[in-house]
Amino acid sequence: MIEAISSRAPGFRPRVAVLLGSGLGSFVDEMKVLAAIPYAELPGFPRPTVRGHEGRLVLGHLGSTPVAVLQGRAHYYEFGRADEMRVPIETMAELGCETLVQTNAAGSLRLDMPPGSLMVITDHINFTGINPLFGLGANRRFVDMVDAYDPALARRLLAAAKAANIRCHDGVYIWFCGPSFETPAEIRAAVTLGADAVGMSTAPETILARHAGLKVAAVSVMTNFAAGLVPGVIGHDQTIAVANASSSQLRLLLRRFLESYG
Ligand code: HPA
């Protein structure tokens, strides 16, 4: 696998892996691309079924930082497996990445964080009872989740946002497994538990990344107010449309963050 990837970009060693969420794949337009490999050519990589997820590994540079971009993820709700992203994430670690930067589309639990807002994730609540490490042996499965979202990287993301004049919040992400959206009662419970944003991804990938020894940073784009917070219905079309519309801010933020990754 590593040889298959390395042969497409000889001598290339990425430092940062970027995992792009729904409607956010256009980030690769910011890169100097060396190679783009469909997941279908990489054994163990998933076949995303969700519109807005390309399913390609893109290798290249942002400024002078070598990055490997996972353009599209598979979610628990697609196949009933929380470890669909295990091989891609472990492959990022084997390629030499030290950090996984994730993006996602999320529902906002805060009225001061309307659709289009960005939020750096500082912690998560796994509300599903499901774990991508189920079934793994060895003591390594008991992964420490304190500071799972690296505080120094979160601070650097917020500083990059400030420098680029991008309003950016920070807060706690709660993982619901989907694919149905949450009920208003579930969202009231999530607010009581201390969550700021809700989504159907990211938490399992963070667990997998910590298991693989990667540092994690993550940014959510609010595509809607969560169920019951304001009148109206929620749908995937809105997720894609708002994520696309807000992607320029997120692209700018990631570019600033990665160019100065150091
Ligand atoms: N809930 C769960 N996942 C989401 C939402 C939401 O409201 N919006 C975008 N992804």
Dump the DSSP string for 71-127. Answer: E----HHHHT-TTTTHHHHHHHHHHT--EEEEEEEEEE--TTS-TT-EEEEEEEEE-
Mean pLDDT calculated for residue range 154-162: 97
d(CA 150, CA 143): 15
| pLDDT, tens digit, 9 for 90 and up, residues 114-153 | 999 999 999 999 999 999 999 998 888 999 999 999 999 9
Q: How much is the pTM?
A: 0.96
Ligand 1 center to residue 179 CA distance, Å? Answer: 9
Ligand 1 mutation pick, 127, 223, 233, max ligand atoms within 8 A of CB: 223
d(CA 191, CA 115): 17
pLDDT (0 to 100) of residue 53: 66
94-98, 196-200, 218-222, 257-261: least confidently modelled range: 257-261
Name the pLDDT band for 244 (thresholds 50, 70, 90). Answer: confident
Is there a domain that residue 136 lies in? no
Is there a domain that residue 91 lies in? yes
pLDDT top residue among 66 and 238: 66
226 lines ligand 1 (CB under 6 A): yes
115 lines ligand 1 (CB under 6 A): no
Ligand 1 center to residue 239 CA distance, Å? Answer: 7
23 lines ligand 1 (CB under 6 A): no
pLDDT (0 to 100) of residue 19: 96
Is there a domain that residue 111 lies in? yes
Domain housing 110: 2-130+143-259
239 lines ligand 1 (CB under 6 A): yes
Ligand 1 center to residue 44 CA distance, Å? Answer: 27
Beta bridge partners of 102: 19, 218
Residue nearest to ligand 1 atom 7, measured at CA: 107
Beta bridge partners of 56: 38, 71
Is there a domain that residue 138 lies in? no
Is there a domain that residue 237 lies in? yes
pLDDT top residue among 158 and 51: 158
Is there a domain that residue 137 lies in? no
pLDDT (0 to 100) of residue 148: 98
Total domains in the chain come to 1
d(CA 165, CA 158): 10
Is there a domain that residue 37 lies in? yes
Q: What is the largest CA-CA distance in the chain?
A: 53
Structure tokens at 179: 């694919």
Q: Looking at residue 213, which CATH number applies to its domain?
A: 3.40.50.1580
pLDDT top residue among 31 and 24: 31
The DSSP element (H or E) to which 260 belongs, if any, is none
